[in-house]
Homo-oligomer: A and B are copies of this chain.
């Protein structure tokens, strides 16, 4: 089995996706074959009928109208809502039925997030599916050093590996939290890492409104100020403080990005039983209400600003109270939330490849597959955490990043659905071979074999004896060798030296302007 980065592409490059880019990349030498974002040719799996959808939509409006949402320590947002016709009492905002739904009509059904390499730009919405890596963990884990706090070096490594994984269409955001850098400055190095060590689209900082503004400024240096004002080059994650409240940090970042015409993902972040009711229908009702209000706020700030309906819902361990993943209840929620988003005509985001396991073992893989596949079948447009997530999001795993990346490649093929061309129908092969013979040598097999099956970068399909002779390694051990070879072979995408200089100058000036702080 080969374990070079170039092998993680499966066969999909040949399927007419990214073909030209792949050839150009090959000519540049050393660069990896990349896949374009998925354009799903398969159906959406759905769990709710018309009646159920209307029931939940009705109840979400009731939540907005009768219970309302809090916007904390955020007079500007309260004023915006008052001006828009909402009932504002203290920090509580109650919304006339249909107000939020009506406001988000100006949001695009689909939009392009531009990458600095135009071949990596992604369309978010419609039948498209964009895979982005893990977001948020303060720890990293690998087989050699175990679990430890993440550093900016780990951050760069994850950016480089995400760049090298063909089916990761997006560089993501906080691929891990570089806790070795001051909190008030680390966003600069994180954003720069995405800009410099990858040419895929990426996410902006949301830990304070001014850090969101720094992200936009850096994007202007990379893309040009006019381009940024007229196009989406950033997408950023706004987690709702469920239940039913937004704090001024998240709402502040949301407004900063929306004002700049940049995309936000409004995500009710729900551990069912703690931040929402324990039932799927209850979670969906609350998710819809919270998402409606946040998405509507983006449109009040700047009509037409791209915004994504996000859902992150986990079940709970009855033993420990911890979130659990890959369980049936959140899958049901995901299918339903995707349906609700489609009815609002906005793109939909979920997680995927989630797990509660501490190590990249069978638990991690079962749970990851049981969150990844529902997302793909449910019709997700932007899937965060689709590779590398471990330990309920507390650790970014080097091994799991490449293992999940392999699964994403499989999903990319699966989403193509079934080929019914004359070649695929294979009647000539059936006639040629006939009863009792075999197809190995027939012309049809010869012509199609090389591209017929997804080729895994991780799976061992050798005989038991050969596997044993090669050391009897498990998947995690093979993944360990794979990510190391990918890092060793990594070559950075070219960048304009003047742009790079300007970015570094911006960061230096910012860093000098304030003392280090750990908040």
A interface residues (Cβ-Cβ under 8 A, vs B): 1, 42-43, 45-48, 51-52, 55-56, 59, 62-63, 66-70, 72, 92, 147, 241, 243-245, 272-282, 285-286, 315-320, 322-324, 326-329, 331-332, 336, 356-370, 373-374, 377, 391-392, 394, 400, 403, 407, 410-411, 413-414, 417-420, 423-427, 429-431, 433-440, 444-445, 448-450, 452-456, 458-464, 466-468, 472, 474-476, 479
- Kindly identify which residue among B51, B282, B320, B367 contacts A430, using a CB–CB cutoff of 8 Å: B282
**Cβ contact within 8 Å between A426 and B327:** no
Nearest chain B residue, comparing its CB with the CB of A284? B418
Nearest chain B residue, comparing its CB with the CB of A55? B420
- Kindly identify which residue among B336, B440, B461 contacts A274, using a CB–CB cutoff of 8 Å: B440
**Cβ contact within 8 Å between B318 and A279:** no
- Kindly identify which residue among B327, B433, B439, B475 contacts A362, using a CB–CB cutoff of 8 Å: B475
In the complex, chain B residues whose CB is within 8 Å of the CB of A329: 413, 452-454
In the complex, chain B residues whose CB is within 8 Å of the CB of A455: 318
Q: How far is the CA of A157 from the CA of B322 in the complex (A)?
A: 34
Additional A-B contact list (6), CB under 8 Å, known A317-B461, A362-B474: A66-B431, A286-B430, A315-B454, A366-B407, A373-B374, A394-B464
Number of copies: 2
**Cβ contact within 8 Å between B285 and A426:** yes
Q: How far is the CA of A416 from the CA of B241 in the complex (A)?
A: 30
Q: How far is the CA of A463 from the CA of B272 in the complex (A)?
A: 18
**Cβ contact within 8 Å between A475 and B328:** no
**Cβ contact within 8 Å between A460 and B358:** yes
The answer to whether A243 and B316 touch (CB under 8 A), given A279-B419, A358-B472, A426-B279, is no
- Kindly identify which residue among B274, B275, B433, B444 contacts A243, using a CB–CB cutoff of 8 Å: B433
Q: How far is the CA of A414 from the CA of B273 in the complex (A)?
A: 18
**Cβ contact within 8 Å between A241 and B436:** yes
- Kindly identify which residue among B68, B281, B448 contacts A426, using a CB–CB cutoff of 8 Å: B281
In the complex, chain B residues whose CB is within 8 Å of the CB of A275: 438-439
**Cβ contact within 8 Å between B436 and A245:** yes
Q: How far is the CA of A22 from the CA of B230 in the complex (A)?
A: 64
Q: How far is the CA of A13 from the CA of B275 in the complex (A)?
A: 27
In the complex, chain B residues whose CB is within 8 Å of the CB of A452: 272-273, 278-279, 315-316, 329
Q: How far is the CA of A45 from the CA of B42 in the complex (A)?
A: 9
Nearest chain B residue, comparing its CB with the CB of A450? B318
